[in-house]
Amino acid sequence: MIDRNVLRSSPESVIAGLCARGLNPDSVTEWRELDGKRREKTRIMEELRQRKAAAARQHALNLRQDNVEPAATPDAKEIKAGLALITDEIGALEERLSSLELMIPNVPDESVPVGADAGDNRVERVVGEIPSFDFQPRPHWDLGTLLGILDFERGAKLAGARSTVLVGDGARLERALINFMLDTAYEHGYLEMFPPFLANEASLIGTGQLPKFKAELFKVEGKDLYAIPTAEVPLTNHHRDEILAEQQLPLRYTAYTRCFRAEAGSHGRDVRGLIRQHEFNKVELVQLTTPERSADALEELTAHAESVLQRLGLPYRVVSLSTGDLGFSAAKTYDLEVWLPGQDCYREISSCSVFGDFQARRASIRYRPRGGEKPRFVHTLNGSGLAVGRTLVAILENNQETDGSIRIPAALQSYFRGDRIPS
């Protein structure tokens, strides 16, 4: 969330950030008006408390002088009633202020390209050569069906639309990719975790999925638990409500998890194949670092995610998201987009983001500087390293042969225990 001091002293920067995102800044205006009312009522409450304390001292003095318990004065009763009323009013104002704060998105970094939507994203670099074929390359849904490794019909029978069963070599390839990605992250200094696939409300508030994106989540009925949409949630919240030592930073965590998303509002988008599923596998990269290092950490984390694509020999590009396409909690995001010849386009396979102290304020994750100064909020970052199903799609489509067989990239062969999926 945004620092309250910034909302009070520099609201123009937050308003400018919301406008750059294409959003209405009225929430900031409302927050400032309510904050002004709360501060005024807090001043009145302090005056009432002082009057109450003065009345109590006078009451004690009267008691000592007369040695008789004097009756409460009308003024004391009035002060007590006034305090009760204004305390309730301040509580209601504080609740509304907190609700507004949780719905105000992060302010985009100055380096983010200003734009209305994905059409204004900026391509930073293109890596690898797009493969050429002497035949019409098939999309992965045709390849998977031809090879008998993707069963869309039975997936739909078991769990409805946007569900798929991976069979035989398809399942083996998925498992091989998970292990390959985790080992690659380990080489880059990430500590592997295996967190719960369920998270409580506080955790989802901490990383920004709640309250704004509740419709995108699967909730466990009758419990304060949600199926996680990404390992970002448990990994970032691992240190929620903690104060770390600066010497511990940066912290680098990685995890394989199943991810669950309701895909609300995506009806009609990517209805074929594995691109947009209700549940999917992902290997996540998360960093907690100091404010001074977070910009460099984003470049580092992005390079770590890129290394997976490079080792697999998959062509891709790196794109800076514009202000209009930026995620709610992110200050800056690079998307990695892999080339899919069966669909003749680039598709997102990873988003690498820096959040500044936005998530850390929500989750109360701080560190104590080496000099013993007052604790400061950490800066958080995360990125997919990578989305496993989309990587499987990219391997199928980029490495297909005329007969439908698939070449397995050299870096993956020891994990897959083979060099191809036969037709």
Q: Which residues are catalytic?
A: 261, 276, 348, 351, 390
* DSSP track, 348-374: EEEEEEE-TTHHHHHHTEEEE-TT---
> Whole-angstrom Cα distance, residue 287 to residue 380?
6
Of 275, 277, 207, whose CA–CA distance to 238 is shortest?
A: 207
- Residue 28 sits at φ, ψ, to 5 deg, of -70, -45
Q: With b meaning 16 or more CB within 10 Å and e meaning fewer, what string describes 237-265?
A: bbbbeeebeeeebbbbbbbbbebbbbeee
Angle between helical axes of 11-20 and 26-66 (0-180°, round to 10): 150
End-to-end Cα, the chain, rounded Å: 52
Q: Are β-strands 365-368 and 242-245 bridged in parallel, bridged antiparallel, or unpaired?
A: parallel
Residue 384 burial (10 A CB sphere; 0-12, 13-18, 19+):
buried
- Residue 307 sits at φ, ψ, to 5 deg, of -60, -30
Helices (H) and strands (E) in the chain, counts: 13, 18
Residue 26 burial (10 A CB sphere; 0-12, 13-18, 19+):
exposed
Answer for the pair 367, 243: CB distance below 8 angstroms, yes or no: yes
Residues 6+ apart with CB under 8 A from 296: none
